[in-house]
Amino acid sequence: MKKISPLLLLFLICAAVPASAAGNEAARKDILDGYAAAAGPGFAGFSAERGRPLFLGPHAGGKPETPACATCHTPDPRAVGHHYRTGRDIPPMAVSQTPDRFTSLAEVEKRFGRDCPAVLGRDCTPLEKGDFITYLSGQ
Amino acid sequence: MALRPHLLCLALPLTLLAVSPAFADEGEWVPPVRHAETLKECGECHMAFQPALLPAGSWRAIMGNLSDHFGEDASLPAATAASIEHYLVAGAGRGDPALLRITEQRWWRHEHDFSPSRFTRPEVRSKINCAACHKGADQGFYEDD
Of B6, B16, B128, the CB nearest to A7: B16
Does position B14 have pLDDT exceeding 90, yes or no? no
Which residues, in sequence order, are CB contacts of A15 under 8 Å at separation 6+? B9
Q: Is B52 on the interface with A (CB under 8 A)?
A: no
pLDDT of amino acid A127: 98
Interface test with A, best of B15, B39, B45 (most A CBs within 10 A): B45
Interface test with B, best of A8, A9, A14 (most B CBs within 10 A): A14
Q: Is residue B20 part of a domain?
A: no
Q: Is residue B1 part of a domain?
A: no
Which residues, in sequence order, are CB contacts of B48 under 8 Å at separation 6+? B33, B38, B39, B42, B138
CB spacing of B6 vs A18 below 8 angstroms: yes
Q: How confident is the model at residue B144 (pLDDT cuts 50, 70, 90)?
A: low
Q: Is residue A3 part of a domain?
A: no
- pLDDT > 90: percent of chain A: 83
CB spacing of B1 vs A101 below 8 angstroms: yes
Q: Is residue A4 part of a domain?
A: no
Task: Please tell me the distance from the alpha carbon of residue B96 to that of residue A101, in angstroms, as a whole number.
Answer: 40
Cβ–Cβ contacts within 10 Å for residue A12, how many? 11
From chain A, the residues in CB contact with B2 under 8 A are 100, 103-104, 107
Which structural domain range is residue A101 located in?
A: 22-137
Who wins on pLDDT, A5 or B60? B60
In this structure, the dihedral spanned by the alpha carbons of residues A103, A107, A112 and A115, taken in order and rounded to 10 degrees, is -120
Query: Mean pLDDT lowest for which of A10-14, B60-64, B88-92?
Result: A10-14
Q: Is residue B16 part of a domain?
A: no
Task: Please tell me the distance from the alpha carbon of residue B21 to that of residue A137, in angstroms, as a whole number.
Answer: 45
Who wins on pLDDT, B142 or B16? B142
CB spacing of B6 vs A118 below 8 angstroms: no
Of B12, B74, B126, the CB nearest to A10: B12
Which residues 58-97 of B have a C-beta within 8 angstroms of A?
A: 72-74
Does position B90 have pLDDT exceeding 60, yes or no? yes
Q: Is B129 on the interface with A (CB under 8 A)?
A: yes
Q: What average pLDDT does the segment B125-143 reach?
A: 92
Which structural domain range is residue B101 located in?
A: 28-143
pLDDT of amino acid A21: 84
| DSSP letter, residue A139 | -
Q: Is residue A72 part of a domain?
A: yes
Q: How confident is the model at residue B25 (pLDDT cuts 50, 70, 90)?
A: very low
Q: What average pLDDT does the segment A102-127 reach?
A: 96
- The most confident of A3-12, B21-30, B76-85, by mean pLDDT: B76-85
Does position A95 have pLDDT exceeding 70, yes or no? yes
When divided into structural domains, chain B yields a total of: 1
Q: What is the CATH number of the domain that holds A116?
A: 1.10.760.10
Q: Is residue A15 part of a domain?
A: no
- Give me chain B's average pLDDT, please: 84
Query: Mean pLDDT lowest for which of A1-5, A123-127, B91-95?
Result: A1-5
Query: Mean pLDDT lowest for which of A79-83, A123-127, B6-10?
Result: B6-10
Beta bridge partners of B5: none
Does position A22 have pLDDT exceeding 70, yes or no? yes
pLDDT of amino acid A5: 55
Q: How confident is the model at residue B29 (pLDDT cuts 50, 70, 90)?
A: confident
Does position B7 have pLDDT exceeding 60, yes or no? no
Q: Is residue B71 part of a domain?
A: yes
Q: What average pLDDT does the segment B7-34 reach?
A: 53
pLDDT digits (tens, 9 = 90+) for B100-121: 999 999 999 999 998 989 998 8
Residue closest to B139 by CA, chosen among B41, B5, B12, B46: B12
- Model-level pTM? 0.85
Q: Is residue A1 part of a domain?
A: no
When divided into structural domains, chain A yields a total of: 1
In this structure, the dihedral spanned by the alpha carbons of residues A93, A98, A100 and A104, taken in order and rounded to 10 degrees, is -20
Radius of gyration over every alpha carbon of chain A, rounded to an integer in angstroms: 18
Q: Is residue B37 part of a domain?
A: yes
pLDDT digits (tens, 9 = 90+) for B31-53: 999 999 999 999 999 999 999 99
